[in-house]
Amino acid sequence: MIHLCSMERFIVICALLLQVGLCAAQKEGFGLGVMAGDPTGLSGKYWLSGDRALAFGLAWGVWGRYLHLHGDYTVQNIQLLQEEDATLDLYYGGGLRMRSWSGGRYWRGGRWYEEGRSSVGLGIRLPIGVDLTVDGLPLDVFLEVVPTLELLPGTYLDLDLSVGARYWF
């Protein structure tokens, strides 16, 4: 009979979980990670089926000092590059973005505004990006450019740009 101390049990459990994670595919399940750029924060993706997914972010706008929240419906059905165990896919879609500024000073439409109140912005996102996956790794790396039509509090075009990585559960 084998007796394992608590540290050995912990190591065995972690090794088993890692093995299960290494077998995970990136086109199913849920991925959570980070993104850097504008905005910078948390990034998530949930595969609905086949090549369709919901992507979301909760972040901080580095240049404009705002809280950023977005949700997108994406399609990832164009394979740009296929190597032995790596794939580079193009994805595109549509979604919504909400930004919230507090403290009276905020960035909108290419300039700073000084108002003694908070402000909320709402826009329509059109994300276009590339996603790199490697067979056997529960990670993906992405780069996305997102033209956004800001609707509230004023109408103007904006651009988000982020690079990031997600771990797949």
Residue 73 is part of a domain; what is its CATH number? 2.40.160.20
Residue at 1 is within a domain = no
At 166 the pLDDT is 98
Confidence of residue 22 (pLDDT cuts 50, 70, 90): very low
Residue 53 included in any domain: yes
Residue 69 pLDDT level (bands cut at 50, 70, 90): very high
- How many domains, the chain? 1
Reported as a single tens digit per residue, the pLDDT across 96-154 is: 999 987 766 666 666 766 666 678 889 999 999 999 999 999 999 999 999 999 998 88
| Domain with 51 in it | 6-168
Q: What is the DSSP string of the chain?
A: -----HHHHHHHHHHHHHHHHHT--TTSSEEEEEEEEESEEEEEEEEEETTEEEEEEEEEETTTTEEEEEEEEEEEEEEEEE-SSEEEEEEEEEEEEEEEE-SSEEEETTEEEE-SS-EEEEEEE--EEEEEEETT-SEEEEEEEEEEEEEESS-EEEEEEEEEEEEE-
Give domain status of residue 55, yes or no.
yes
